[in-house]
């Protein structure tokens, strides 16, 4: 049987993946499915004609060791062009050793880079529950690693949200649905320069 032209035409290349590796702040904790900033990111990419497929691999309660453990399989499955790393807050809230958190974040960033992905690191701050020294050293981890690995950095994920008390759920930790556009607006200026439009070299 003769092949038709459509049958032998090369398949259209799939859109490159953009992988978000995060915790509850990116996993739509306490808000309706589809209302989170990662879903809004997919919409904005489409609106601005960036052809990426967003993969949200965020899990509520995730720590850096969990992200480190899951990342190799995610890289193998999705082969992302960009990895957005939003992890570390749960380590700090549990008072885990900063050396461990730093080592895990180093592993995550370097593993993603070795797989050919660009990395965007999202920084966090924490309440001074474990003392000023711990708090300050935790905050400084993110710019330190961003500088060493030459990756883009969002200094503080909640920067546009933290002063708006009505943008937090009753636990005072997780932003509401109303806050999600502001979270995206915080990430976008650092993410956009990493993006390539379809067909661009």
Q: SS in 3 state form for the chain? A: CCCCHHHHCCCCCCCCEEEEEECCCCCCCCCCCCCCHHHHHHHHHHHCCCCCEEEECCCCCCCHHHHHHHHHHHHHHHCCCEEEEECCHHHHHCCCCHHHHHHHHHHHHHHHHHCCCEEEEECCCCCCCCCHHHHHHHHHHHHHHHHHHCCEEECCCCCCCCCCHHHECCCCCCECHHHHHHHHHHHHHHHHHHCCCCCCC
Q: Is residue 133 flagged as an active site residue?
A: no
Exactly one of 51, 53, 78, 174 is catalytic; which is it?
174
Is the distance from CB of 157 to CB of 25 less than 8 angstroms?
yes
Exactly one of 24, 26, 58, 91 is catalytic; which is it?
24
Q: Is residue 24 flagged as an active site residue?
A: yes
Per-residue tokens: 180: 């999600």
Task: Count the alpha carbons within 13 Å of 120 in the hemisphere toward its beta carbon.
Answer: 26
Q: Is residue 78 flagged as an active site residue?
A: no
Distance CA 195, CA 16 (A): 10
Active site residues: 24, 171, 174
């Amino acid at each position: 049987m003769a092949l038709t032209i459509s049958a032998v035409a090369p398949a259209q290349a799939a859109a490159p993946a953009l992988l978000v590796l995060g915790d509850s702040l990116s996993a739509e904790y306490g808000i309706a499915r589809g209302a989170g900033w990662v879903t809004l990111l997919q919409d904005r990419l489409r609106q601005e004609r960036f052809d990426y497929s967003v993969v949200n691999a965020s899990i509520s309660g995730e720590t850096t060791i969990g992200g480190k453990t899951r990342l190799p399989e995610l890289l193998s499955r999705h082969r992302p062009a960009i990895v957005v790393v939003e992890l570390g807050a749960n380590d700090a809230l549990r008072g885990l050793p900063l050396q461990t958190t730093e080592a895990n974040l180093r592993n995550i960033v370097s593993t993603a880079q070795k797989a050919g992905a660009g990395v965007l690191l999202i920084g966090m701050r924490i309440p001074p529950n474990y003392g000023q020294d711990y708090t300050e050293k935790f905050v400084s981890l993110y710019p330190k690693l961003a500088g060493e690995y030459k990756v883009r950095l969002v200094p503080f994920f909640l920067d546009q949200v933290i002063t708006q008390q009505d943008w937090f759920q009753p636990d005072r930790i997780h932003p509401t649905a109303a806050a999600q556009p502001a979270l995206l607006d915080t990430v976008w200026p650092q993410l956009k320069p990493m993006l390539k439009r379809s067909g661009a070299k």
